[in-house]
Structure 1
């Protein structure tokens, strides 16, 4: 008989969510409870394979008795608490955050950003033409991925993925302060002179397209990138014996990028340079 490992059972926490009783395992966040209840809560900096950073603030909710709004991605559900997700205060806060983000960076490749701006009636243009913007040209300095910091919202997900949460390479960090803060490699050197190992795990977690496959960047520039026409095929990387799962994204019978399932117990969405970018030999015409 094969033994099936079981996790430590967790007691259920009962609280009120938008006027209805909610029950979630102890340690769950308010966001976990919202998703279990089918509630659509905005998220940008939240990552299912990373610890919450509370950077973007679009997921804030109102907790009865609390002085400030709480980020649903990190605030743990507590017994007896009363949470409201759609109050005027919470909606206004999300609206302002969306306006500030959209007025300072390019959200054109951020999934659902346009939908959220319309839903919350956000008006990024209200800050006028003199509003400070990043306005930085894409950095195309290698054949694997592109850094377009004009789209960066400083969510820190790439820093965490490159750092102690996954890759432990520490090739990138946040430099500068205030509006001058930005993501950069050590001493702001060219990527090719940095400690980067080109695993692409930073690209995997980027929520806005500030980091993207070179193939995707080129196809978007040519107007040929079309996710609706892409198919996904799951396979196993053959470069070594670890057995990482790969998801091949195929368009027009060619692999355009490779990701890995975040719920995979081996990779948790992470790959090495061979797994993520080694597909190019498959369709090499030379």
Structure 2
């Protein structure tokens, strides 16, 4: 006999003065979306549990002591939420400035829009992180910071150690999305995690082994969730390096993976009549954006 679930209760709150009703358990980000407010996010992923690390989505709650991350704070009855107050704008601006002054955001799709929206000036905190080609010519993998510590994620060469994807950790904002996708939330491979502390914190394989010698199964689900391009298809990386990556000219065709009977949905990104990368829609009820190595990278046979 099927057990009937109790109906979910609704909660009522105000967002920027507008009343909104959402289901109990929904977040403030859900409430903002329901009234059409575009809340900036970087570390948030629809298929992953919120990590609360980028702090770009913070909002102000009436009588609240601190700003709250909209991606994880649950909506409550009677809440009065402000998403564009001076306090919120200043916080978001500062976070974006600190990120852009220390990390290469050139391949982060939303970065330029967010920086312009909040009048962010990353140069206040020093010169921007150099682009990839300059880093590749750098003689060291780390650079000194004023107090003598080192920042391992900036000014390091792009890691090209396999035929499928590259790792450019100077673009990494430590959002943990790749770690979560590789870990218990999706793949359960646990090939990567955060190593080091403070300025030395970085994404690394176990014992910092080369990727081909690690536990990585090359599913590419970490690439799917990476918001900055720190993890990228090698085909895309090579086209970008050659100055021939033309996303506006690409077509995207949705199809079903032919390798097995699971029914994973594929999005084939085609440029100049050639498949340059494969993604999967995050809202697909079978894959949730995840694929195996065959579905993600096994497209060279297509002509």
Confirm or deny a common fold (TM above 0.5).
yes
Aligned-residue Cα RMSD (Å) equals: 1.5
Residue equivalent to 2:165? 145
1:278 aligns with 2:278: no
Count the aligned residue pairs. Answer: 278
Q: What runs of 5+ residues in structure 2 fail to find an aligned partner?
A: 130-144, 146-150
Partner Cα distance (2:6, 2:121) in 1: 47
Partner Cα distance (1:9, 1:111) in 2: 39
- SS at 2:78's partner residue? coil
Residue equivalent to 1:107? 105
1:179 aligns with 2:199: yes
Residue equivalent to 2:70? 72
- Is this contact kept in 1: 2:101–2:128, CA < 8 A? no
Please, which of 184, 187, 209 is the counterpart of residue 189 of structure 1? 209
Residue equivalent to 1:218? 238
1:20 to partner: Cα distance: 1.1
- Is this contact kept in 1: 2:256–2:265, CA < 8 A? yes
Structure 1 pair 53/126, CA: closer, same or farther in 2 (3 Å)? same
Please, which of 18, 21, 24 is the counterpart of residue 20 of structure 1? 18
- SS at 1:94's partner residue? helix
- Is this contact kept in 1: 2:102–2:128, CA < 8 A? no
Residue equivalent to 1:3? none
Structure 1 pair 42/7, CA: closer, same or farther in 2 (3 Å)? farther
1:209 aligns with 2:229: yes
Question: Residues 28-78 of structure 1: CA distance to partner in whole angstroms, max 9, x if unpaired?
Answer: 111111112111110000000000000100000001111110000000110
Residue equivalent to 1:266? 286
Please, which of 225, 243, 261 is the counterpart of residue 241 of structure 1? 261
- Is this contact kept in 1: 2:166–2:232, CA < 8 A? yes
Please, which of 37, 40, 50 is the counterpart of residue 39 of structure 1? 37
1:9 to partner: Cα distance: 3.3
Structure 1 pair 227/129, CA: closer, same or farther in 2 (3 Å)? closer
1:8 to partner: Cα distance: 5.9
Structure 1 pair 234/130, CA: closer, same or farther in 2 (3 Å)? closer
1:129 to partner: Cα distance: 4.2
Question: Residues 164-209 of structure 1: CA distance to partner in whole angstroms, max 9, x if unpaired?
Answer: 0000000000000111100000010100110000000000000000
- More displaced 10-residue stretch of structure 1: 47-56 or 21-30: 21-30
Question: Residues 119-155 of structure 1: CA distance to partner in whole angstroms, max 9, x if unpaired?
Answer: 2111111122499561111100011011000100000
1:10 aligns with 2:8: yes
- SS at 1:279's partner residue? coil
Structure 1 pair 135/194, CA: closer, same or farther in 2 (3 Å)? same
Please, which of 111, 114, 117 is the counterpart of residue 115 of structure 2? 117
